[in-house]
Chain A
Amino acid sequence: MSTTAQTTTKPAEPVPAGATSRQAARDRARAFIARYGIFLIFGVMVIVASFLSPAFLTTTNIVNVIRQMSIIGLIALGVTGVIVTGGIDLSSGSVVGAACVVAASLAQNPNRAFYPEIAGSPVLLAIAAGCAVGVLAGLVNGALVAKTGIPPFIATLGMYTAARGAAMLYTTGRPLSNLSDAYNEIGQGSLFAVPVPILILAGMAVVTHVLYSRTKFGKYIYAIGGNEQAARVSGIDVGRYKILIYSYAGFLSGLAGLVVSSRIGSGQPGLGVGYELDAIAAAVIGGASLSAGGIGTIPGTIVGALIIGVLNNTLDLVNVSAYWQQIIKGVIIVGAVVLDQRKNRGDR
């Protein structure tokens, strides 16, 4: 069967001998860079960072970087799936806020303001409620996109505003502190010296990677993003899978809400502002394409999130002002998209 691969390629162009192999080598190199370029860039960044600051390559610092990026990373896992279908989710940051206040309201120590009739501090209930809020928000996003046909940008922009408003309404704008130790373990605890947020991210990354690359559901979100019409005529219930992916993205935002509120020991309706954009940036830097659907991977997104994390960390270590950091981040995001478009044009 190895010969069939060759017979299917178009007849070789009439170029002088010698040029053909050079051309082929260049094509291979280009394909390699298109596929693994982001990992190379990340490697270079790590090397540069370790030269710039001796503090960079210490265990504490590296754990710190990963823990900091774990929240954005979690959100980006779901956002990647949404972007793969050709959509976008602007509501993640607000969903973080809404999920964390609902979870925190159940996780406060006894004598709490909310649901005093429930005995003790039901951590599992708090976790379930936080995730449920995320799923619910995602469900609404997905239903709006799938059933009304409005652009995902608009649907999730609505949720962006509404979920934040709901979070504020729920706590009348106040933060909820005095959370139980069990709940705070999520963000502050460690298992075998690895912080729990990192474990959660690693676990979810593996699950999501398998989900996207090996399951029916995963095949379908790529098919929908690659050619929605083709997916439809193949008998795929496009609407259903859109609802599912937005719900999954909502679930991960809810989970991120649990992590962030337990990390600071307080549920605040204002948490998560701007997270959606960082998550989108991570996915895009990692190769997910906003211009063409059907493109994007979990390993890419994780590296994208790591790149943002390492960048922030390095700039901190070498004392670049926070304002400059924002500018540099902006340049990198736009640069990644420009490269991505070049790459796609090359494909065609």
Chain B
Amino acid sequence: MSDGYVLRMRDISKRFPGVHALDAVRLEVRKGTVHALMGENGAGKSTLMKILIGMYAPDSGTIELNGERVTIASTHQALSKGIAMIHQELSPVPQMTVAENIFLGREPLTWYGLVDTKEVNRRTRELLDRLEIRVAPEKKMVELSIANTQLVEIAKAISYDSSLIVMDEPTSAITEAEVANLHRIIRALRERGVSVIYITHKMDEVFDICDEVTVLRDGRYVGTSPIGALTHDLLIQKMVGRELVDMFKKERTPVGDVVLQVRDYSGKRFRNVSFDVRKGEVFGVAGLMGAGRTELLETVFGVHPRTSGEIFLHGKKVEIRQPADSIRHGLALLTEDRKLSGLYLNATVRDNISIANLLRYLIGPFVRFRAVNADCERMRQALRIKTPSLLQRVKNLSGGNQQKVLLSRWLLTEPEILILDEPTRGIDVGAKAEIYRLMVELARSGKAIVMISSELPEVLGMCDRVMVMHEGDKVGELLRGDATQERILEMATGLAPSAASV
């Protein structure tokens, strides 16, 4: 009766205010297979998985587990039905130990009712040994590296003895050797009849480990095929929906003199990094999660204190102690997490755009709203922000449009150097293309752009030069012509010997 399928999700739809996140999506996973769930950021993969593990309720659609129709109302229910998930975004409880985190929610007790710490540690050690993860069970999670944290999360999901494990980008922060180890573990799980839903952006891994692939695009179901029926290019085409080439209309804009020089910068999570950025170029900063890219550029911008290093603008040394200093010197920073550190979600589009420039619109203590409106309107048209009105609350806009609002804010300050941290994270393909178009225009108008990005196609498509970081160190720089996906990955995972600096 279960006809070999452990999971059948059919016609799953989910709406969020302003977005149709999922529209009649299906996902069918066979028992004992590794099933890749592919799609660009914002395609709806995470939403679908959150529905599967009971974090969201679908608006419509059905879920069948082993042929039986079920509703999953909480993660607890999902776990008890044999579905575990490794969350990409969720960190564990930092102050607790590795063992306590793994057994959180199902601690073995002693006969007198207290938590049996010895037993928790013993079982954790057994589990970690079996998976060849070299971490001490007694260690606190805060003390672990990001790669080890991720390995512990993986161990935790496996420890539930689930029949279906969802892995959301499990390899985004681990090295090649650890990836090989993880894949060995996954193959062993598959042997035992466990099914894995594997979400990744890394093509090689899909072809290496997965049996079937389901592709989503813009919240819609595109198709499912066995891996043998697919090629690299075919898969990308399915994900993007058209040839990838026209995504990046990168033109060679004339590159001018050096505007920004950073020398021997050190701070939390990065050491002795030096780089130059030129007028009119897009300078990429690539690396794995936790490589220190965000920390480096936030420190350059003055968000965090540095421990050493100097900054030169147009050859002149400048002192940047806080963001206000760098804004005055013509820098702008678009942060990685729009909602956390950039946008005022409950404020209007107009207020969000004008907040960093309010001083310019003042007569005495009063704001000249006519001027504000005019400038905001200009930005809205230039960036094609889709909003019914400038007085719309930003939380009602789509991710791409929110990003444009933030970009407008910083463009209004008329910066010379624009730092963009993951500028297209979580926005749809169309909006992405527009952000890219804007970046080209900005570069052509003589601005220097620094882009931190974890999406290699984006780095390769947009950047004139790429700096690659690994665990806080600069590994090297690659020119546009020399940069390939493989080369950058090698450097980012620390496998490549330091490339010659350009």
Contact = CB atoms under 8 A, between A and B. Distances in A.
Nearest to B117: A214
Interface string B335-347: 0000000000000
A223 B148 contact: no
A235 interface: yes
Contacts of A237: 76
A8 B104 contact: no
Contacts of B109: 216
Interface in B109-152: 109, 113-115, 117, 125, 134-136, 139, 142-145, 148
A4 B76 CA distance: 32
Which of A8, A215, A220, A231 is packed against the most chain B CB atoms within 10 Å? A8
B76 A235 contact: yes
A11 B93 contact: no
B91 interface: yes
A219 interface: yes
Given A223-B96, A230-B92, A8 B135 contact: yes
Contacts of A13: 271
B87 interface: yes
Given A4-B134, A14-B271, A219-B104, A230 B115 contact: no
B145 A8 contact: yes
Contacts of A172: none
B388 interface: no
B53 interface: yes
A223 B92 CA distance: 9
A7 B132 CA distance: 13
Contacts of A5: 136, 139
B76 A8 contact: no
B471 A236 contact: no
Contacts of A230: 90-93, 101, 104
B135 A226 contact: no
B218 interface: no
Contacts, number: 93
A326 interface: no
A348 B304 CA distance: 12
Give the interface residue-count category, chain A: 20 to 34
Given A233-B53, A236-B104, A237-B76, A210 B114 contact: yes
A9 interface: yes
Contacts of B197: none
A223 B91 CA distance: 12
B17 interface: no
A233 B90 contact: yes
A304 B79 CA distance: 41
Contacts of B93: 222-223, 226-227, 230-231, 294
B493 to A, nearest CB: 14
A61 B250 CA distance: 80
Contact of B104 (A9, A218, A223): A223
B316 interface: no
B145 A226 contact: no
Interface in B42-60: 53, 55
Interface string B57-85: 00000000000000000011001100001
Contacts of B106: 235
B107 A10 contact: no
A180 B85 CA distance: 60
Given A1-B125, A4-B135, A236 B95 contact: no
Contacts of A295: 95
A210 to B, nearest CB: 7
A343 interface: no
Given A8-B144, A10-B145, A294 B95 contact: yes
Contacts of A220: 105
B94 interface: yes
A216 B75 contact: no
Interface in B379-433: none
B40 interface: no
Contacts of A1: 125, 136
A232 B271 contact: no
Interface in A1-30: 1, 4-5, 7-11, 13-14
Contact of A215 (B115, B125, B135): B115
A88 B115 CA distance: 26
A234 interface: yes
A215 B96 contact: no
A347 B142 contact: yes
Interface in A324-347: 347
A53 interface: no
Interface in B217-257: none
A229 interface: yes
Nearest to B128: A4
A219 B75 contact: no
A7 to B, nearest CB: 5
Contacts of A236: 76, 104-105
B90 A229 contact: yes
B477 interface: no
Contacts of B351: none
A210 B114 CA distance: 9
Given A9-B143, A216-B109, A222-B93, A235 B79 contact: yes
Nearest to B138: A5
A265 B104 CA distance: 47
Interface-centre pick from B85, B100, B107, B136 (highest chain A CB count, 10 A): B136
A108 B92 CA distance: 53
B136 A233 contact: no
Contacts of A294: 93-96
B114 A214 contact: yes
A234 B86 CA distance: 11
Contacts of B91: 227, 230
Interface string B247-273: 000000000000000000000100100
Contacts of A235: 75-76, 79-80, 105-106
Which 5 residue pairs spanning A and B have beta carbons closest together? A226-B93, A234-B105, A235-B76, A234-B104, A235-B105
30 contacts: A1-B125, A4-B136, A8-B135, A8-B136, A8-B143, A8-B144, A8-B145, A10-B471, A13-B271, A214-B117, A215-B113, A216-B109, A219-B104, A220-B105, A222-B93, A222-B95, A223-B93, A226-B96, A227-B90, A230-B92, A230-B101, A231-B105, A233-B75, A235-B76, A235-B105, A235-B106, A236-B105, A294-B93, A294-B96, A295-B95
Given A10-B145, A236-B105, A237-B76, 19 more contacts: A8-B134, A8-B139, A8-B143, A8-B144, A210-B114, A216-B107, A222-B95, A223-B96, A223-B104, A227-B91, A227-B92, A227-B94, A230-B101, A231-B105, A234-B105, A235-B80, A294-B94, A294-B96, A295-B95
